[in-house]
């Protein structure tokens, strides 16, 4: 720079530097490395961000696109009615990883078996587990939805194509996160070095760093649960709800989409619960691509996630689409829920 050229003033320099802290750069910063592995993980996160951009764009105009909303008439492996947006978003995640050399397998809520990308498999040792459109029932009424993802390293050759190596505890995850499609599109992720949030700047077409090393408060006012299931729960969960009804300082918030409810609690503190019921003792949420990635994040943010009797990150699934009860959020609030379970277990 010559004498006559003046450096940008500090404010503008800071703003420029902040806007240049894209997701791919942030991953490399977190890993303190430019190695091949670091570049792969950085590229993988960029592909997830690309999927988020495609989905955000589709959601923002879905009401205007012929045939974008509504049901396909099919049912998925969960037995749930499939929405056209479920199919679209599931395919987006597959498409962004084709010809990438990064991800060999994708396991999705929307697919009975893992989907293989053979062109990637010899070199791509990552597996993406994802719920492409979490809370899709909110789509038709323009309420927030999300995508949840979990990243694992493939172990062994998976020669029989059954991906048995995925049936391991959540502590095997190498990264996890979600994309929240709300008033703004936010990507929250961790690769084991804290929880970080990025906001999509549509004018740049980039996710820009918004907050680093997010820590959940040890306690918060929010309890988030579908009280419509009250009489379906075990007695200790009913005891907990009776407690918060009778004590000051609690507020109920439930949006019907795990990603939005989780995001609120991550920032404000509190607890989200999806307990088992008499009909579904394992609860509704799927372990590998809903509960486990959220548990990975919450532990990185200083919170906890449990089934009520076992840390979510230690649960070993028997099948890809295994479900688990989920109690997740601030340490003190999760511990309070557990205290009611432990009290009943002692009886
Ligand atoms: P319910 C969405 O279908 C989902 O999987 C989660 O995102 C959400 O937390 C839960 O189910 C809502 O379930 O039974 O309260 O409608």
Q: Give all domains of the chain, ordered by start, each with its CATH number.
A: 10-211 (3.30.540.10), 222-346 (3.40.190.80)
Cβ proximity of 275 and 283 under 8 Å: yes
* Nearest residue (CA) to ligand 1, atom 9: 258
Q: pLDDT (tens digit, 9 = 90+) per residue, 227-275?
A: 999 999 999 999 999 999 999 999 999 999 999 999 999 999 999 999 9
The pLDDT of residue 40 is above 70: yes
Mutate to test the pocket of ligand 1, among 85, 179, 257 (most ligand atoms within 8 A of CB): 257
pLDDT digits (tens, 9 = 90+) for 149-182: 999 999 998 988 899 999 999 999 999 999 999 9
pLDDT at 339 over 90: yes
Q: Give the residue, by CA position, lying nearest to ligand 1 atom 13.
A: 256
What is the model's pTM?
Answer: 0.94
Query: Which of 7-21, 75-89, 121-135 has the highest average model confidence (pLDDT)?
Result: 121-135
**Which residues lie closer than 8 Å to 268 by C-beta, 6 or more apart?**
217, 220, 221, 222
Indicate if the pLDDT at residue 122 is higher than 90.
no
Angle (CA) 242-245-246 rounded to 5° is 90
Q: Write the pLDDT tens digit of every residue in 176-234.
A: 999 999 999 999 999 999 999 999 999 999 999 999 999 999 999 999 999 999 999 99
> For residue 8, is pLDDT > 80?
no
pLDDT above 90 as % of the chain: 81
6: confidence class by pLDDT, cuts 50, 70, 90: low
- Give the distance (Å) from ligand 1 centre to CA of residue 322: 15
Could you report the per-residue pLDDT of 273-329, keeping only the tens digit for each? 999 998 999 999 999 999 999 999 999 999 999 999 999 999 999 999 999 999 999
Q: Which residues line ligand 1 (CB under 6 A)?
A: 134-135, 137, 226, 256-258, 274, 284-285
Query: In this predicted structure, what is the pLDDT of residue 67?
Result: 83
Confidence of residue 347 (pLDDT cuts 50, 70, 90): confident
Q: Which residues contact 339 (CB under 8 A, 6 or more apart)?
A: none
Please name which of 144, 175, 146 lies closest in space to residue 293, comparing C-alpha atoms. 175
Q: How far, in Å, CA of 94 to CA of 103, rounded?
A: 9
Distance 254 CA to ligand 1 centre (A): 10
Ligand 1 midpoint to CA 277 (Å): 14
Q: How far is ligand 1, taken at its centre, from the CA of residue 117, in Å? A: 30
Q: How confident is the model at residue 4 (pLDDT cuts 50, 70, 90)?
A: low
Ligand 1 atom 4: the closest Cα is on which residue? 135
Which of 189, 176, 224, 185 lies closest to 207, judged by CA?
185
Least Cα distance to 225 among 199, 191, 194, 251 occurs for 251
d(CA 266, CA 286): 20
Whether residue 133 is predicted with pLDDT greater than 80 in this model: the reply is: yes
For residues 125 and 1, what is the distance between their CA atoms, to the nearest angstrom?
Answer: 44
**Angle of the 331-346 helix axis to the 235-246 helix axis, nearest 10:** 130
Q: Whose CA is nearest to atom 12 of ligand 1?
A: 256
Nearest CA to ligand 1 atom 1: 256
- Top-confidence residue, 3 or 245: 245
Q: Residue 17's pLDDT is what?
A: 78
Residues in contact with 172: Cβ distance below 8 Å, sequence separation at least 6, in sequence order: 152, 153
Residue to substitute in 86, 181, 274, 324 for testing ligand 1 pocket (most ligand atoms within 8 angstroms of CB):
274
To the nearest whole number, what is the mean pLDDT of the chain?
94
């Amino acid at each position: 720079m010559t004498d006559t050229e003046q450096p940008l003033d500090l404010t503008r320099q800071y703003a420029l530097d902040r806007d240049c802290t894209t997701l791919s750069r942030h991953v490399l910063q977190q890993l303190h490395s430019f190695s091949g592995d670091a570049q792969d993980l950085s590229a993988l996160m960029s592909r997830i961000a690309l999927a988020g951009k495609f989905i955000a764009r589709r959601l923002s105009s879905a009401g205007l696109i012929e045939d974008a909303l509504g049901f396909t008439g099919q049912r998925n492996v969960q037995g749930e009615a499939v929405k056209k947006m479920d199919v679209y978003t599931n395919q987006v995640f597959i498409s962004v990883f084709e010809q990438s050399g990064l991800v060999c397998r994708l396991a999705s809520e929307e697919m009975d078996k893992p989907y293989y990308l053979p062109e990637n498999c010899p070199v791509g040792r990552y597996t993406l587990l994802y719920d492409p459109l979490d809370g899709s029932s909110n789509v038709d009424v323009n309420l927030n939805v999300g995508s949840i993802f979990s990243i694992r390293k493939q172990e062994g050759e998976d020669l029989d194509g059954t991906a048995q190596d995925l049936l391991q505890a959540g502590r095997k995850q190498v990264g996890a996160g979600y994309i929240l499609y709300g008033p703004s599109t936010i990507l929250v992720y961790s690769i084991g070095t804290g929880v970080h949030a990025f906001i999509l700047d549509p004018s740049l077409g980039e996710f820009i760093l918004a907050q680093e090393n997010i820590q959940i408060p040890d306690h918060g006012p929010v309890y988030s649960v579908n009280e419509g299931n009250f009489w379906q729960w075990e007695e200790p969960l009913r005891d907990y709800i009776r407690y918060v009804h009778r004590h000051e300082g609690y507020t109920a918030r439930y949006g019907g989409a795990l990603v939005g409810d989780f995001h609120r609690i991550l920032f404000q503190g509190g607890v989200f619960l999806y307990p088992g019921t008499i009909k579904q003792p394992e609860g509704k949420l799927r372990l590998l691509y809903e509960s486990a990635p959220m548990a990975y994040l919450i532990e990185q943010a200083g919170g906890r996630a449990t089934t009520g009797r076992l840390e979510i990150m230690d649960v070993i699934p028997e099948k890809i689409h295994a479900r688990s009860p989920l109690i997740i959020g601030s340490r003190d609030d999760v511990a309070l829920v557990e205290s009611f379970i432990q009290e009943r277990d002692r009886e």
